[in-house]
Structure 1
Amino acid sequence: MSYLCPLCQEPLSLSARTYKCASNHQFDLAKEGYVNLLPVQHKRSKDPGDNKEMMQARRQFLDGSHYQPMRDAVSDLLKNLLAEKTDGQLLDIGCGEGYYTSYFADEMPQAKVFGLDISKVMIRYAAKRYTNVDFLVASSQRLPFADNQLDGVVRIYAPCNGDELARTVKDSGVVVTVTPGPRHLYQLKAGIYDEVRLHDVPVEALPGFELETEQTVAYPMTLNSADATTLLQMTPFAWRAPESLWQTLKDAEQFECEADFTLRVYRKIA
């Protein structure tokens, strides 16, 4: 089984290039290879999620390997956690344009890896670029997966419905989360706020899960002008940034900025 119908929650079966359920709801594979399982009645806007400009900014920055240490640390966690799963299933929620998801799939060829995002733009570009992942447009609030189907879920900055995680993750399965650490992007914030407050990193309350491990990945980044500007563009700080900060980044030959991530592993209580 791969997906559930988002309209009636019956299993979907793939025939030719169409997923179909017993109630005859149908969802075609796009030419890029992804499937859209976000029906119009589940959307809050016409085109939810990040737009093309955000996708391009994210891809440009990530292709510069600035977040590679975090990506590698998450991958190492997942490989160790799922090492005994010869046919495990891993879901990347809020996968964006697939930078992390594709790497996880390369590092765990024995696993079936899904990449889910609410943004059709992000998923279209992800599926076109990375062919080693099953990408889908869907809501993290209504995961189109069966009960106890997934061995692991990874969430890098992405929100999700905790009850849906408890429903879809197998007993003793894992959820790996990445959130900003206390000093993440401190120097960008210093260009916006008179008094910079460190990020709070509370342990998330996931129903049916318990926190197993926690680690920090922190390091300095040296960014050129283009990457520093792109980084600001792809963060929520962009809306608050004064023109003076944009100009500072535009004029800078180098911009020193801290990366600080908190990685947590939650295990489902059997």
Structure 2
Amino acid sequence: MSYLCPLCHAPLAAVGKSFLCPDGHQFDKAKEGYVNLLPVQHKRSKDPGDSSEMMQARRAFLDAGHYQPLREAICLQLEQAAPVTLLDIGCGEGYYTAGFAQVVAKKSGTTWGLDVAKIAIRYAAKRYPQVQFCVASSHRLPFADNSLDAVVRIFAPCKAEELARVVKPGGIVITATPGPRHLMQLKGQIYDNVMLHSSEAEALPGFVVEHVQSIGWTMTLQGCEVVALLQMTPFAWRARPEVWQALAAETAFNCETDFVVRVWRRETLA
């Protein structure tokens, strides 16, 4: 199994340090080992995705183990499914992907990581050479129809039609989304009225929910860890300078996590 050309959608063949399609489109591997499959015409900005500072903050926070129970919960579901081909969508710097790859390796399988942010994929590929990483759009997955046993999405967008296209009949999609009380205390530092996350599940046509698990715990964070966590969130831009300063001075900030993990089974074709 290989990638599809993002320009003509023909299969790409690995030739040396490049990927080539029959129409002559060529995509070279970077020195870190990843391949950029995001043509400029598919970009919404010059450098889409998270910045280098955000990636470094995310890596430091995740490396400290604060979200390890979430990774373990998803790995447990993957152990039961035993996929041979797996894609992690929105993989960032690869913390979760590396854990998933350990499960897939037990079946001598292959794990791919995909993100729109080139800086994130560069970090990931350099650190986790056992994973095949690519820069690509989650709305135009560079994989063939019915080619993947499993897809994991942690807080990552993707068109349901694309998931239904690439996942094999009988395969799975695992999603992790915020539960109602996720990061309530952190949000309380920013918003006057803190709203609970919606508990309504998204619709994934072509899939049936097979398993739902709520998982949460309380973290006690130092100031630099709270700042790193805030940098990982979509509401960081709403934080005033004095909020950043106050959080950086924290010595024991207690904050709840709340995740919902769902396992979706691809319906078999009639």
- In structure 2, C-alpha distance between the alignment counterparts of 1:157 and 1:27, rounded to whole Å: 28
The TM-score with structure 1 as length reference comes to 0.96
Q: Is the 8 A contact 2:217 2:257 kept in 1?
A: yes
Displacement after TM superposition at 1:251 (Å)? 1.7
Find the counterpart in structure 2 of residue 54 from structure 1: 54
Find the counterpart in structure 2 of residue 13 from structure 1: 13
- Alpha-carbon RMSD across the aligned residues, in angstroms, is 1.0
Displacement after TM superposition at 1:137 (Å)? 0.4
Displacement after TM superposition at 1:217 (Å)? 0.9
- In structure 1, C-alpha distance between the alignment counterparts of 2:188 and 2:55, rounded to whole Å: 25
Query: Stretches of 4+ moved more than 4 A in 1?
Result: none
Displacement after TM superposition at 1:195 (Å)? 2.1
| 5+ residue gaps, structure 1 | none
Displacement after TM superposition at 1:37 (Å)? 0.6
Q: Is the 8 A contact 2:85 2:104 kept in 1?
A: no
Find the counterpart in structure 2 of residue 245 from structure 1: 243
Which whole-Å deviations, capped at 9, do the CAs of 1:1-38 have from their partners, x for residues lacking one?
21111111111100111100110111111110001111
Verify: 1:260 aligned to 2:263, yes or no. no
Q: Which amino acid aligns with 1:105?
A: A
Verify: 1:95 aligned to 2:118, yes or no. no
- In structure 2, C-alpha distance between the alignment counterparts of 1:108 and 1:11, rounded to whole Å: 23
Q: Is the 8 A contact 1:210 1:266 kept in 2?
A: yes
Q: Secondary structure at the match of 1:214?
A: strand
Q: Which amino acid aligns with 1:65?
A: G
Q: Which amino acid aligns with 2:128?
A: Y
- In structure 1, C-alpha distance between the alignment counterparts of 2:45 and 2:240, rounded to whole Å: 28
The TM-score with structure 2 as length reference comes to 0.96
Q: Secondary structure at the match of 2:235?
A: helix
Displacement after TM superposition at 1:101 (Å)? 0.2
Percent of aligned pairs with the same residue? Answer: 60
| Aligned with 1:147 (options 133, 145, 154) | 145
Q: Is the 8 A contact 1:50 1:119 kept in 2?
A: yes
Deviating more after overlay: 89-98 vs 197-206: 197-206
| Aligned with 1:233 (options 231, 234, 241) | 231
Find the counterpart in structure 1 of residue 123 from structure 2: 125
- In structure 1, C-alpha distance between the alignment counterparts of 2:15 and 2:248, rounded to whole Å: 51
Find the counterpart in structure 1 of residue 80 from structure 2: 80
Displacement after TM superposition at 1:243 (Å)? 3.1
Q: Is the 8 A contact 1:179 1:201 kept in 2?
A: no
